[in-house]
Structure 1
Amino acid sequence: MESTLDQVHINFDAASLHTLNIALALVMFGIALEIKWSDFRQISQKPQWVLVGVLSQFLVLPAITFVLVWAVKPMPGLALGMMLVAACPGGNVSNFMTHLARGNSALSVTLTAIATMCAVFMTPLNLRFWAGMYPPAAEILEKVAIDPLEMARLVALLLAVPLIFGMLFNHWFPALSKRLSSFFKIGSLLFFAVLVVLALAKNWGIFLEYIHYVLFLVLLHNALAFGNGYGLARLFGLKRKETKTITLETGIQNSGLGLLLIFLFFDGLGSMALITAFWGIWHLISGTGLALLWSRAKEDSGL
C-alpha cells in the first residue's frame, strides 16, 4: 500500500504550479501592504511575544511532529509530509483569523513577517534535521538529493521578496497602500481559495479514495500544533490576546508552500502531496472554527 500511495498522481500540471507561485507571492505582498514599521517598534517593547511565536513555530512544532511520527510510525512519505508541513512558516490566513478571533493583529502580522524571513533558512534546515533523524524519511531525502540552498532560494523568492517589496511600497506610498490592501487581502485570498477548490475538484476521486490514510494524522497533527501554540503562550505568561495569536500562528501552516516544494523537489510524491493538501483544507476549517469560538467568547471566559 505504501508504494501505491506514493505513486498516486496528483493532477497538478506546470501551469497550476506557476499559478500557485503567483498566488503565494500575491498573498504575501497583500499582507505586507498592511505591515508598518511602527508595528515592529510596538512589538519590540514585548520581545518575549515574538520569541514565543518563533519558538513555537520553528522549534517546538517540528520537535512535536518528530515525536508524533516516531509514536505513530506512518508511511515514510506521510511522515516526511508531516515534517515538511511543520517546517513551513505560519499560513497567510492566520492574520485574518487572528483578527476574527479578536487577537493581537499587530503581533500576527509581525510574526508573519519574521517567520517568513526565518523560513528562508529554517524550512530547509528543519526538514533536513528532523527528517534526517527518522530513517524511513531520511531514505527519501537521500534519493531526491535536495539542495537546501536551492530550497532556501525558492522560499526567499516566493515569500521574502514579496514581503519586502510590499513593506517598502507601504512605506513609500502609504495612502495608496491603504486603498490597495483591502483589495489585495481579499482578492489574493480568494484567488488562492479558488485555486485550492479547482485543484481539489480535479483530484476529487483521488481525495475520496485515499482520505482515510491521512485523515487521522492530519486531525491529530493539527490539534497538537494548536495545543503547542496555546500551551507555550500560557507557559510564558502571555495574555489572552497574545495567546490566541500565537495559537493561530502555530496551527495555521503555509501548506501551499509545502505543496509547491513537494512538486518541485519531490516530484509530486503522492503520499506527501496528499497529507499536505489535506492539511491545507483542514487547518482552514479548524482555524476558522477556533477563531469563531474565540470571537464569541467573553473576555473573562478563560478560553
Structure 2
Amino acid sequence: MDNTSSAKTPDIMDLSAWKQDSPVEREVMGGLGVAASAMFLERSASRTAEFSQESPHLVPAFWDSPLSHGINVFVGLVLCFTMLGLGCTVEVSQLGEHIRRPIGVLLALLCQFVIMPLVAFLLALAFSLDDVAAMAVLLCGCCPGGNLSNIMSLLVHGEMNLSIIMTISSTLLALVLMPLCLWVYSRAWINTPVVSLLPFGAIILTLCSTLIPIGLGVLLRSRYTRVADVVLKASLWSLLVTLVMLFILTGVMLGPDLLSTIPASVYVVAVLMPLCGYAAGFGLAVLFNLPPSSCRSVSLETGCQNVQLCTAILKLAFPPQLMGGMYMFPLLYALFQAAEAGLFILAYRLYRKEVLHKPDPTMDGEDITYQRFHDEDFDSSYGAVTVSDPNTIMLDPCPPDPTPV
C-alpha cells in the first residue's frame, strides 16, 4: 500500500500490487495441486506487515517447507492410483450410455457451478466473514468435484459411471465456469480481476491426473478383470491409510496454535457447506427423477470439492503472508466433508441392513432348505426324483407307457 492509500483502509482488497511486486513467477512443481510459493522483495514484506496489523492470521511456514511439498506430491500420486482403481469399476457400455445421454454433464454443471458457489457465497455473507476468509470459502465452493466423491459413491453402492462422468465433466467445465463464478461472486470482497490470479496450469494438471488414470483403469477392466479387482482394493486401502497419516501429520506439524487463529465462524462454515451440498445434490437428483443409486452419487458429488486444487490456487494466487491461517480452510473442509460422508455411508448401510434386507416376519419358522425338500415325499407320477448336486433337484422324465392304446 502506498502512502495515499495507507491513510484510509479500503473496504475491498486490491491484490494487483501483490502480483506486481513478485519478482519470481510461481510455477507448478508437479503432482496434484503442488506449487511453490512466491518470493517477495523487502518492500512487499513491509506492505505485508502493514496488512498483518489488520489481520489476525498467522503465517504458516509449514506450507513453504520441503516436507509440505513432499506430502503434496505423495498425496497426488496416491490419488492418481485411486483414480486408476476407480476406473476399474467403470463398464464401457454403461459409460457410453451416459455420454449419449449427457444428464451427468448437466448435473455436474448445476451442482458444481450453480449450487456450490451460491452456497459458499451465502454462507460467507451470513457469517460476515472477513475478506481473506471469504475468498478462501468462495474458492473452495467454485472448485470442481473431488476424487473423494467417487470413493464414497462406491461405498454406498452408487452409480459409479454417473459419478465418474460428473467428476470429469466438472473438471473440464472448471476451465471456463470457475473463473466466471469467481468473477461474479468475488467482487463483494476483492477488486482485482480474479481470472488473472487463477493458475490454469494447475486446473489442467488436475484434469490430466483424473482422465489418464481412469482411462487406464477402464482399459485394465476390459482386458484383465482379476487384476482390476486387485488394483481396486489396493487403491482404496492405500487412500485410507494416506488420509489417516495426512490428518495426523498435519495436526502434529501445525499444532493448535494455528488452528486457534481461525475464527469459530469459519469452522461453522466448513461444517455447513458440505452438508448443504449433500442435501441440495440429493434434492436435485430427486427432482430429475433419478433412481436411488444415482441420487446417492449426485449427492456426494455435489458436496465433495477438489480441496487439492483449492489449496494449489490459494498457494499460487495469494501470498502466504496475506492468507495466513486461511490456508487451513481446504483441509478443514476435507475433514468435515469426509466425516459427514462417512455418517451418510453408515446411515445408508444400516438402512440397507435393517430395512431393505430385513427378513420377512411372515416367513418365520418356515423351513425352505434343501433338507425339507429332500425329506418330503415327491409325486413321482411326472418322473423320478434324482439328486446329482446337493444344491439342485431334478426330475427325470417318465418312460413311455408300454401298454398299447
- Same fold per superposition (TM over 0.5): yes
Note the alpha carbon deviations across 1:201-243, whole angstroms, 9 max, x for none: 2112222453624221212222221222122112222222111
Q: Which has the higher contact order (CA 8 A, sep 6+)?
A: 1
Which residue does 1:126 correspond to in 2? Answer: 181
User: Whole-Å Cα distance in 2 between the matches of residues 2 and 235 of structure 1?
Assistant: 49
**Distance apart, 1:13 and its partner CA:** 2.6
Name the aligned partner's letter for residue 114 of structure 1.
S
Q: Judging changes above 3 Å, is the alpha-carbon distance between structure 1 residues 88 and 18 closer, same or farther for their aligned structure 2 residues? A: farther
User: Whole-Å Cα distance in 2 between the matches of residues 280 and 107 of structure 1?
Assistant: 22
Which residue does 2:376 correspond to in 1? Answer: none
The equivalent position to 1:182 in structure 2, one of 233, 236, 249, is 233
- The answer to whether the 8 A contact 1:81-1:271 is kept is no
Moved more, 93-102 or 208-217: 208-217
Which residue does 1:96 correspond to in 2? Answer: 151
Q: Judging changes above 3 Å, is the alpha-carbon distance between structure 1 residues 203 and 44 closer, same or farther for their aligned structure 2 residues? A: same
Tell me, what secondary structure is at the counterpart of 2:262?
Answer: helix
Q: Structure 1: any 5+ residue segments left out of the alignment?
A: none
**Distance apart, 1:189 and its partner CA:** 4.7
Name the aligned partner's letter for residue 154 of structure 1.
A
Please say if 1:279 is aligned against 2:333. Answer: yes
Q: Judging changes above 3 Å, is the alpha-carbon distance between structure 1 residues 87 and 297 closer, same or farther for their aligned structure 2 residues? A: same
Bigger share in helix: 1
Which residue does 2:299 correspond to in 1? Answer: 247
Give the alignment of 1:1-303 within 5 angstroms: 3-9=54-60, 11-15=62-66, 16-35=68-87, 36=90, 37-44=92-99, 46-131=101-186, 133-134=187-188, 136=189, 138-139=190-191, 141=192, 146-148=196-198, 151-157=199-205, 159-170=206-217, 173=220, 174-175=223-224, 177-205=228-256, 206-210=258-262, 212-268=264-320, 269-298=323-352
**Distance apart, 1:286 and its partner CA:** 0.8
User: Whole-Å Cα distance in 2 between the matches of residues 110 and 299 of structure 1?
Assistant: 29
- Indicate the percent of aligned positions where both proteins have the same amino acid: 21
**Distance apart, 1:25 and its partner CA:** 4.7
- The answer to whether the 8 A contact 2:262-2:326 is kept is no
Q: Between Structure 1 and Structure 2, whose CA radius of gyration is higher?
A: 2
- The answer to whether the 8 A contact 1:218-1:275 is kept is yes
Tell me, what secondary structure is at the counterpart of 2:147?
Answer: coil
User: Whole-Å Cα distance in 1 between the matches of residues 122 and 110 of structure 2?
Assistant: 17
Q: Structure 2: any 5+ residue segments left out of the alignment?
A: 1-51, 357-405
Q: Judging changes above 3 Å, is the alpha-carbon distance between structure 1 residues 222 and 165 closer, same or farther for their aligned structure 2 residues? A: closer
Tell me, what secondary structure is at the counterpart of 2:158?
Answer: coil
**Distance apart, 1:10 and its partner CA:** 5.4
- The answer to whether the 8 A contact 1:24-1:257 is kept is no
- The answer to whether the 8 A contact 1:120-1:153 is kept is no
Note the alpha carbon deviations across 1:139-174, whole angstroms, 9 max, x for none: 4x56x88443xx1211211x2222232244335544
**Distance apart, 1:62 and its partner CA:** 0.8
Name the aligned partner's letter for residue 197 of structure 1.
I
User: Whole-Å Cα distance in 2 between the matches of residues 2 and 69 of structure 1?
Assistant: 22
Tell me, what secondary structure is at the counterpart of 1:297?
Answer: helix
User: Whole-Å Cα distance in 2 between the matches of residues 257 and 57 of structure 1?
Assistant: 14
Tell me, what secondary structure is at the counterpart of 1:102?
Answer: coil
User: Whole-Å Cα distance in 2 between the matches of residues 300 and 62 of structure 1?
Assistant: 37
Q: Judging changes above 3 Å, is the alpha-carbon distance between structure 1 residues 118 and 192 closer, same or farther for their aligned structure 2 residues? A: farther
User: Whole-Å Cα distance in 2 between the matches of residues 60 and 190 of structure 1?
Assistant: 32
RMSD: 3.0
User: Whole-Å Cα distance in 1 between the matches of residues 195 and 303 of structure 2?
Assistant: 29
Question: What TM-score comes out, normalization by structure 2 length?
Answer: 0.64
User: Whole-Å Cα distance in 2 between the matches of residues 202 and 45 of structure 1?
Assistant: 48
- The answer to whether the 8 A contact 1:120-1:152 is kept is yes
- The answer to whether the 8 A contact 1:31-1:185 is kept is no
User: Whole-Å Cα distance in 2 between the matches of residues 26 and 118 of structure 1?
Assistant: 24
User: Whole-Å Cα distance in 2 between the matches of residues 34 and 240 of structure 1?
Assistant: 20
Question: What TM-score comes out, normalization by structure 1 length?
Answer: 0.83
User: Whole-Å Cα distance in 2 between the matches of residues 100 and 167 of structure 1?
Assistant: 18
User: Whole-Å Cα distance in 2 between the matches of residues 166 and 112 of structure 1?
Assistant: 13
User: Whole-Å Cα distance in 1 between the matches of residues 349 and 86 of structure 2?
Assistant: 22
